[in-house]
Structure 1
Amino acid sequence: MGLLLHDYQTTVKSRATLTGIGVHSGKTVTVHFLPADADTGIVFHLSNGGETRELRALVAEVGATDLCTMLGDPAGAHIGTVEHLMATVFGLGIDNVVIEIDGSEVPILDGSAMAFVEAFDQAGIETLAVKRRYIRVVKPVRVEAGASWAEFRPYDGTRFEVEIDFESPAIGRQQFASDINPDIFRRDIGRARTFGFMKDVERLWAAGYALGSSLENSLVIGDDNRVINVGGLRYPNEFARH
């Protein structure tokens, strides 16, 4: 039986560019996505007023996870708020890409992954002549942190089952469960936005966070425990999908 296309590594076919503001820094940043050879992985080239620094998207490079996922050294060269971009790379099955960025935070855009999806779709995705390598889960592995937990289980494919529980009646207990492939990611996950509470805004601003946050890029729950965005929710369970 021959190998299937999804057994091979991929990259983008051509260059793509996005510009926006960082949700925490409030600063304008431009990011370019470039084709990369097989086995390159996801590599950031950070050019922020000095020499270019390379940061690889590996768990060993995660320097902080407070209100965003950050690669690198929080006190030195780093790139923050990589989660929507990394979710898109995974969701669309992109194995190799060089990401040039001229600031220390990936732009938030509309608060979801869709602008990244559209940029990659416009650039095109190319299949390379080198096979992928996989990690296969052969027994359950569980990680706990306070009342939260995550568990990897054996499965023939890739599936996420997510449940969240917030005291706010605007969110409450929500679930989302689905196999994941590029079409499902585009349709069922990519448009879900980051969210927050109006009551937390002043505290976040004082701590130097959310300086670029607005109703244009965040789903906001007001003091009356209702979503205050004019368009409302994009999915009934948008919070869980995010």
Structure 2
Amino acid sequence: MYDYQTTLKSRAMLSGVGVHSGKPVSLHFLPADGDTGIVFHVIGENGRELRALSSEVGSTDLCTLLGDPAGVHVGTVEHIMGALSGLGIDNLVIEIDGREVPILDGSAIRFVEAIEQAGVETLSAKRRYIRILKPVRIESGASWAEFRPHSGTRFEVEIDFESAAIGRQSFAADMSAEVFRNEIARARTFGFMKDVERLWAAGYALGSSLENSVVIGDDGRVINMEGLRYPDEFVRHKTLDAMGDLALAGARFIGCFRSYRGGHRLNAAALRHLLSDHSAFEIVEASRRERGRSAEMIAINAPVYAPWVV
């Protein structure tokens, strides 16, 4: 746990194409003051600022989208939000000249490299956390997700696909910047060749390719020449998605998030369900350290405008 909020030491820039739109897009990362949070500034004549919060989620179909799907929005925010959460970046303004975060190589590693190259600056504002006090669970058919009390920030994600290339996989870890960088960040998005024509006809996946997606062919095998980056890359990518979706709480969790056969919609629903039950969590920050003693997390009174107030 870290006591103080962070931002970047210097600016950074990335460019690529949107996985669904296929259009080129650039991002500029701008350092921000404490308590700014993560803010997307959409450039253009109808541009506006979109805060990376659960209340701004406009759609969870195929990706997590902030804003109005029929108006100003930013889609596919889950990978960049996962990287910011995984590396502990609290405050950042992201200028974007399109409506979708670039897919890059389909993972979060390019975001990680840009953040590490820019450097991390510690600010004077105290970091606040959402500490889970009791189990909160949501179910949807055979799928479910839940938050449970835990002393750290833990993810336990399990998936189950009929495809022989995937099958049933699980990943569990207490999350830290090192664990995220080594175990999660390089896991790529994935899909099935049989779904491609349907997605194209619906106007999706126009920027998808073997350079940014793990693709499973009609014979049930991975068709990417280089194969997988991890033996269980699929569930690790689902963990990345969950981290990015839950980062829209506006503060880190002290607790365990568990899911079975989850996705963006279930992650968003679980987060809304948690934040609607104020008896299930409390807002805490680190107390002052005394010599020879580690800091304790103490409950504080959250302002009414806090992102977790719904």
TM-score by length of 2: 0.76
- The CA deviation string for residues 65-112 of structure 1, in whole angstroms up to 9 with x for no partner, is 000000000010000000000000100010000000000000000000
Structure 2: tracts of 5 or more residues without a match: 238-310
- The CA deviation string for residues 49-68 of structure 1, in whole angstroms up to 9 with x for no partner, is x1431000000000000000
Aligned to 2:8, which of 9, 12, 23? Answer: 12
- Alpha-carbon distance, 1:181 to partner: 0.7
**Aligned positions of 1:30-109 closer than 5 A:** 30-48=26-44, 50-109=45-104
Q: How many residues align?
A: 237
**Aligned positions of 1:157-236 closer than 5 A:** 157-236=152-231
- Contact 2:189/2:214 (<8 A) preserved: yes
Aligned to 1:152, which of 131, 147, 154? Answer: 147
Q: Distance in 1 between matches of 2:16 and 2:164?
A: 32
| Aligned residue type for 2:8 | V
- Contact 2:87/2:176 (<8 A) preserved: yes
**Is the partner of 1:75 in helix, strand or coil?**
coil
- Contact 2:41/2:47 (<8 A) preserved: yes
**Is the partner of 1:134 in helix, strand or coil?**
strand
Q: Distance in 1 between matches of 2:165 and 2:78?
A: 24
Q: Distance in 1 between matches of 2:87 and 2:109?
A: 11
Q: Distance in 2 between matches of 1:133 and 1:185?
A: 20
Q: 1:22 is matched with which residue? A: 18
Q: Distance in 2 between matches of 1:52 and 1:174?
A: 41
**Is the partner of 2:115 in helix, strand or coil?**
helix
| Aligned residue type for 1:78 | H
Q: Distance in 2 between matches of 1:12 and 1:229?
A: 35
What percent identity do the matched residue pairs reach? 75
Q: Distance in 2 between matches of 1:16 and 1:180?
A: 25
Q: Distance in 2 between matches of 1:145 and 1:42?
A: 30
Q: Give the alignment's Cα RMSD to 1 decimal.
A: 0.8
Q: Distance in 2 between matches of 1:8 and 1:76?
A: 36
Q: Distance in 2 between matches of 1:95 and 1:191?
A: 21
- Alpha-carbon distance, 1:7 to partner: 1.1
Confirm whether residue 124 of structure 1 aligns to residue 105 of structure 2: no
Q: Distance in 2 between matches of 1:234 and 1:36?
A: 34
Q: Distance in 2 between matches of 1:147 and 1:103?
A: 36
TM-score by length of 1: 0.97
**Is the partner of 1:117 in helix, strand or coil?**
helix
- The CA deviation string for residues 142-172 of structure 1, in whole angstroms up to 9 with x for no partner, is 0112211111000001010010000001000
Q: Distance in 1 between matches of 2:75 and 2:155?
A: 24
Q: 2:128 is matched with which residue? A: 133
Q: Distance in 2 between matches of 1:110 and 1:44?
A: 21
Q: Distance in 1 between matches of 2:52 and 2:183?
A: 25
- Contact 2:47/2:72 (<8 A) preserved: no
